[in-house]
């Protein structure tokens, strides 16, 4: 895992070369690659790379990396799990390799297949290839969106980076994008291609970008189109088992120690069980809990299950107990590393867990994706219920409304805190209708799962995971989100995924049952990972929260918010008259982000 940066002055002027500026960009993302850095500069472009050494720790694995005749230059962030097979194929075609790294495979693959090269890659990646002869820049991001990639294209310049903070080293006006702002207070994140910064964009997952002269073209290179259902339950189980085992095996590839994030749920336990089957020696596992009175076992049930699981698999188990002071002391730092606001109280716990894990390992495997692929959320059961009425699927506007109802905050509550001139009630519904539900005739359940995969999972969940892990120089891999498992998931009939509104992932659990200890199977199904954020806001965080939510905290934001409405919402929540934790956390996160960004 690494970090990449670059910029080009459009039209090929000499201002494309600026060593001092590319060094500043690299410094901003040093946390992503603490082991080494490298640069390439010519009159057209400046490229920078920060290295976190995982595969081929030698000097030959350094970047930027060149092909045989040095006509192509690569900077790469990620891991390619099938690089050894690809390397053999390329060597058979006459390509010569100088290193043992997965990075070099991308260079030769690009020589062979140009813009089609990402289609051959199984992995998590964001990379850039500069063609010195053609003066063309090619960027690509992995299918699921595990690795981030941002760009700015304006004012006669093109800039890209793994993180926004590096792009802001350029002389760019820092303006809030009002469409992104409205999305954020409804979804709790900003969906691609937008960011909270006007003019700075995410390259969406499964897309590539080509810069030629003063023009860019952006295209999708992978999409799920085969929805033909597999009706044989045993065939599905066999495929899940085979693909899960292959995925975990491929993602264990590393020249540095690998551990497992163990949440206590079905997904991470399944990953751990397969790791145990494939490896020898003690596995290092990492779990997090909270220092709080918890008589109903609401916040630490998963920690106790994880503890039992670690004993079952005889792992070297590490636990982190989070206190409210830890949140208070790290909140600003966490929001800085996020680049743009994401309203999720668990992110500080993820940051601190990654910090602890980094002391023991360089790579962790996580259980992300099981709910999205195999029907773990309650909303999928309701969409499955709607699918029984076949005529409904031919009314796309209904899909938008139903999906929006599940995923958005209540419009009435949003309207209380945003100023009337800023609040746009329809913009987020229009975004989903335009991009995901227009002319859609597929089943509700598949459509909702795929929309989650392309939006919430990529731009909220995986974005948080990457930023929090890489802030500590830790690589997190996600075996369940192998693209072949994703492609399989949409072919599984909903009746095999959901037994009832409280029991999803049925087919996945059945496929993984040999790896699931009895205490995991008999425990109440793991729900959403929760933090005691409401209790913290009524306790040690109360004074700080009131300060942040005051109209004087950041005067520039007075034009966006109705601070009387903000204060009332906060007080109603604290006094338990109304539950509005999501919007309150969104406000706190936005205020801190905005003040620190505009310093």
Which helix (H) or strand (E) element contains residue 175? none
Q: Which of 43, 46, 9 is nearest to 26 (CA)?
A: 46
Peptide bond into 221 cis (omega under 30): no
3-state secondary structure 246-262: HHHHHHCCCCCCEEEEC
Could you tell me the CA-to-CA distances from 488 to 247, 268, 337, 369, 437 in Å, in that order? Answer: 13, 19, 34, 13, 22
Rg (CA), the chain: 24
Q: Is 189 helix (H, G, I), strand (E, B) or coil?
A: coil
CA distance linking residue 497 with residue 384, whole number of Å: 10
Angular region, 368: left φ>0, alpha ψ -120 to 50, beta rest: beta
> Looking at 1, 2, 86, 492, which residue is catalytic?
2
DSSP one-letter code for 457: I
Displacement of CA 128 from its chain's centroid (Å): 19
Percentages (nearest 5) of helix, strand, coil residues in the chain: 50, 15, 35
The answer to whether the annotation marks 258 as part of a ligand binding site is no
Q: Is 502 helix (H, G, I), strand (E, B) or coil?
A: coil
Q: Is 2 designated active site? A: yes
CA distance linking residue 300 with residue 292, whole number of Å: 9
The answer to whether the annotation marks 116 as part of a ligand binding site is no
CA angle at residue 17 from 12 to 20, to 5 degrees?
A: 155
Contact 473, 31 (CB under 8 A): yes
Q: Which of 144, 232, 244 is nearest to 508 (CA)?
A: 244
Peptide bond into 193 cis (omega under 30): yes
Which residues belong to the annotated binding site? 102, 288
Feature table: binding site for L-glutamine: 102
Residues catalogued as catalytic = 2
Residues annotated within the binding site for ATP are 288
């Amino acid at each position: 895992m690494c970090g990449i940066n670059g910029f080009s002055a459009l039209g090929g002027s000499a201002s494309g070369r600026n060593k001092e500026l590319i060094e500043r960009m690299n410094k901003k993302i040093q946390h992503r690659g603490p082991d080494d850095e490298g640069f390439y500069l010519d009159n057209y472009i400046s490229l920078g790379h920060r290295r976190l050494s995982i595969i081929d720790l030698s000097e030959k694995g350094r970047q930027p990396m060149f092909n045989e005749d040095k006509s192509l230059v690569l900077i790469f962030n990620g891991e390619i799990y099938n690089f050894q097979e690809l390397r053999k194929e390329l060597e058979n075609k006459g390509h010569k390799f100088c290193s043992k790294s997965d990075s070099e495979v991308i260079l030769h693959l690009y020589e062979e297949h140009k813009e089609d090269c990402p289609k051959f890659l199984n992995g998590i990646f964001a990379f850039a290839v500069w063609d010195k002869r053609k003066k063309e820049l090619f960027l690509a991001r992995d299918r699921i969106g595990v690795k981030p990639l941002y760009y700015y294209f304006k004012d006669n310049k093109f800039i890209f980076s793994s993180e926004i903070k590096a792009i802001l080293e350029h002389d760019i006006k820092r303006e809030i994008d009002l469409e992104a702002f409205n999305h954020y207070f409804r979804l709790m994140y900003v969906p691609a291609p937008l960011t909270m910064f006007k003019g700075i964009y995410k390259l969406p997952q499964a897309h590539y970008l080509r810069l030629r002269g003063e023009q860019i073209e952006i295209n999708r290179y992978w999409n799920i189109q085969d929805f033909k259902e597999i009706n044989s339950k045993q065939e599905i189980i066999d495929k899940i088992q085979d693909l899960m085992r292959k995925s975990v095996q491929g993602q264990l590839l590393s020249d540095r120690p690998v551990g497992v994030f163990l949440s206590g749920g079905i997904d991470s336990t399944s990953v751990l069980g397969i790791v145990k089957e494939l490896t020898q020696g003690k596995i290092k596992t990492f779990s997090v809990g909270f220092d709080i009175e918890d008589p109903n076992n609401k916040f630490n049930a998963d920690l106790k299950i994880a503890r039992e699981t670690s004993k079952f698999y005889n792992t070297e188990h590490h636990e982190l107990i989070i206190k409210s002071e830890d949140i208070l002391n790290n909140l600003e730092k966490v929001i800085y590393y996020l680049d743009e606001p994401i309203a999720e109280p668990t992110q500080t716990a993820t940051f601190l867990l990654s910090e602890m894990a980094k002391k023991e390992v360089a790579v962790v495997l996580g259980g992300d994706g099981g709910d999205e692929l195999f029907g773990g959320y309650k909303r999928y059961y309701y969409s499955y219920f709607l699918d029984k009425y076949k005529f409904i699927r031919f009314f796309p506007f209904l899909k938008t409304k139903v999906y929006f109802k599940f995923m958005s905050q209540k419009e009435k509550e949003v309207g209380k805190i945003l100023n009337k001139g800023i609040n746009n009630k329809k913009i987020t519904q229009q975004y989903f209708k335009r991009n995901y539900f227009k002319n859609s005739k597929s089943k509700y359940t598949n459509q909702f799962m795929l929309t989650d995969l392309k939006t919430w999972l990529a731009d909220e969940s995986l974005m948080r995971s990457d930023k929090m892990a890489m802030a500590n120089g830790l690589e997190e891999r996600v075996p369940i989100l192998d693209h072949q498992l994703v492609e399989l998931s949409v072919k599984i009939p909903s009746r095999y995924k959901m037994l009832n509104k409280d029991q999803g992932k049925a087919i996945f659990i059945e496929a993984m049952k040999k790896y699931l200890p009895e205490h995991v199977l008999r425990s109440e199904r793991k729900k959403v990972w929760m933090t005691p954020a409401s209790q913290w806001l009524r306790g040690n965080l109360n004074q700080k929260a009131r300060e942040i939510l005051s109209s004087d905290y950041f005067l520039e934001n007075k034009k966006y918010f109705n601070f009387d409405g903000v204060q009332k919402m906060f007080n109603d929540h604290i006094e338990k008259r109304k539950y509005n934790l999501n919007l309150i956390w969104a406000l706190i996160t936005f205020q801190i982000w905005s003040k620190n960004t505009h310093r």
